[in-house]
Amino acid sequence: MGNEDITWPIIIASAIFFLAPAALVSYLVIYNGRKKKHAEEKMQMEQDFNSELVKTQHEIREQTMQTIGADLHDNIGQLLSLTSFTLKSIAHSEPDAMLKKVNDAIDLTARSIQEMRLLGKLLQGEQLVGLGLHEAIKQEVNWLQKTGVYEVNYTCKGLDSTAGNPEKDLILFRILQEIINNTIKHAQATCIHIDLNYADACLKLSIEDNGVGFGINELPAEQIGMGLQNIQKRASMIGGETTINSLPGSGTTIHVFIPYPQ
């Protein structure tokens, strides 16, 4: 066996001896880099989610205060004005009429107190969502029905048996508010149907109206950006997805699907 026959195995063995640690070091560097990047991405996602929660809480408070302001002006203010007018119109010379007007004033006062109690529930805001998504939606439907403009139907199936998820509930409730606000502003609807259905670890929220509808590709950019995309973004942040079905003259149906309660 010549020297050349011995040299090549030695060179190959040496190369393996020196390259194997280098390959291992390179692998560790790449692995740690990816691990660090994953940790940073996870942290960023958590920060984005927490930021979205704070934003959602603020928007729900703002929506609550707008509703309270409108109700104080349009409903309770009117009831109290009628009470005042009724009491001022009492004539002492007409005993029979006086008794009726006093009773009317008592009835108006009782209605005002009832409205104030309902406002107190609304002021609970996030605490109301904490009682469960179903209860929060019921209160939202009550206020929508009080306007007298819309026929509102709400059904809920399968949710009583699940423990719920407060963070997902909060964001999903805000999605509902955004969809309803869009309906009020743009749809010219008279009937709104809301359906909440829990089955197979999935929660489905559906909102359907009989309004004018729209072509999704024909919407103004600002309406897409501030409305539909915001709804889709929030749904994706809690692992969900959104489908929107609408045609001009045929109303609009929006479905939101999220894994729940996980």
Task: Give one DSSP letter per residue of 16-75, joined into a string.
Answer: HHHHHHHHHHHHHHHHHHHHHHHHHHHHHHHHHHHHHHHHHHHHHHHHHHHHHHHHIIII
Task: Please answer whether residues 216 and 253 qualify as being in contact, where contact means their C-beta atoms are separated by less than 8 angstroms.
Answer: no
Backbone angles phi, psi at 158, to 5 degrees: 80, 0
Q: What pLDDT sits at residue 261?
A: 73
pTM beyond 0.85, yes or no: no
Averaged pLDDT in 10-residue chunks for the chain of 262 residues: 61 68 75 76 72 73 66 65 72 69 77 68 58 82 81 89 75 89 88 94 94 78 64 89 90 94 64
pLDDT of residue 113: 72
**Across the chain, how many H-helices and E-strands are there?**
8, 5
Question: Check: CATH 3.40.50.2020 for 149-262?
Answer: no
Domains in the chain: boundaries: 1-123, 149-262
> How far is the first Cα of the chain from the last one, in angstroms, to the nearest whole number?
70
pLDDT of residue 216: 73
